[in-house]
Amino acid sequence: MNIKQAISLFQSYQQSNHRKRTVESYRFLLEQFGAFYAERPVDTLRPEEIYDFLERVTKDLAKSTRRLRYAQLKAFFNFVIERTHILTNNPCNDPLLSKAFRAPRMTQREIIGREVIDEIIYRCSKARNRLILELQARCGLRIGEVLNLRASDVSGRRLTLRRPKSGREEESAFMPETVATRLKGYIEAEGILSDNRLFPICYSTARSFVKRLGENIDVKIRPHDLRRHSATYASRNGVPLEIISKVILRHQDLKTTQMYLGRISETEALRWMDVLHGK
């Protein structure tokens, strides 16, 4: 099997099993790879050639993008080798390649405390904007999920999230009673029809007002910080990690959830020791 045939097989599989966004993300890389090596048998590609190719197509890109392209090419070879039973090793598994395109070091973002989040929310006088803040900070929703909500997605304290990031057809999220009551009143007051979006604004508009609200109290904040806060606040109040991961953040991997949680300070550690064992 040559590279051109392998790409066709891989793309056919993706069309049936992955979201359109994922397919499009791979498309550019595979088109470039096919242009270089279309007629080459899959089992003849060497790590040095993979390195040269990735350097050409990612030379001026960010480290995270370079790592993504490497990971995509590695996934492509894994799929082809497993599906066709070709007796060869994945050329992307070479240690030098892994080192050259390793993931950038994660920087821990500062977690914004409950008092600050509450002040930002309480200072927000516009019902629409306050609900957007609360659905992220109290319920753990992504900003895209909030902006895509329609009136028909609201059922009591349960929200149905259509086409979530996980790739599932839908997921469920849950609201505190106070937020659910406020959301119901907002829908009724605005006369929002079942098929209409609750918050018909774009991401840049949402980001702008969140940033502006933070600046009012000298805090740098972006929408995703609200989701991160929801996870850390739940963790600090004794909610099991599995509940935070599967119910609040809806992650498929606990490791992803752990990356959301802020570092524990010495004061916090001592407080929990007192809670567990007394002073």
pLDDT band at 170 (very low <50, low <70, confident <90, very high): confident
pLDDT given at position 50: 94
pLDDT given at position 273: 67
Residue 173 reports pLDDT greater than 80: yes
The tens digit of pLDDT for each residue in 42-53 reads: 999 999 999 999
pLDDT given at position 250: 87
Domain(s) labelled CATH 1.10.150 in the chain stretch across 3-100
pLDDT given at position 114: 87
CA distance 188 to 185: 5
pLDDT band at 271 (very low <50, low <70, confident <90, very high): low
Average pLDDT, the chain: 88
Any idea which residue has 């007629």 for tokens? 39
Residues 125-129 have a mean pLDDT of: 94
Residue 123 reports pLDDT greater than 70: yes
pLDDT given at position 107: 58
Residues 154-166 have a mean pLDDT of: 88
CA distance 76 to 6: 9
pLDDT: which is higher, 104 or 218: 218
pLDDT given at position 269: 63
Kindly state the tokens that stand for 179: 């937020």
pLDDT given at position 276: 62
CATH topology for 114-277 is: hpI Integrase; Chain A (1.10.443)
Percent of the chain with pLDDT strictly greater than 90: 61
Residues 70-85 have a mean pLDDT of: 93
Which residue, among 100, 103, 97, 57, has the nearest Cα to 77 in the 3D structure?
Answer: 97
AA identity, residue 105: R
Q: Where are the alpha helices (DSSP H) in the chain?
A: 3-17, 20-37, 47-58, 63-84, 95-100, 114-122, 127-137, 143-148, 177-190, 203-215, 223-236, 241-243, 254-260, 266-277
Q: Where are the alpha helices (DSSP H) in 165-253?
A: 177-190, 203-215, 223-236, 241-243
- The verdict on domain 3-100 having CATH code 1.10.150 is yes
pLDDT given at position 257: 77
Phi, psi of 126 (to 5 degrees): -85, 125
pLDDT given at position 160: 95
Percent of the chain with pLDDT strictly greater than 70: 90
pLDDT given at position 241: 84
pLDDT given at position 109: 63
Domain(s) labelled CATH 1.10.443.10 in the chain stretch across 114-277
CA distance 52 to 43: 17
Residue 77 reports pLDDT greater than 90: yes
The tens digit of pLDDT for each residue in 191-248 reads: 999 999 999 999 999 999 999 999 999 999 999 999 989 988 888 888 888 888 888 8
Residue 272 reports pLDDT greater than 60: no
Residues 27-35 have a mean pLDDT of: 93
Cα Rg of the chain (Å, integer): 23
CA distance 36 to 127: 55
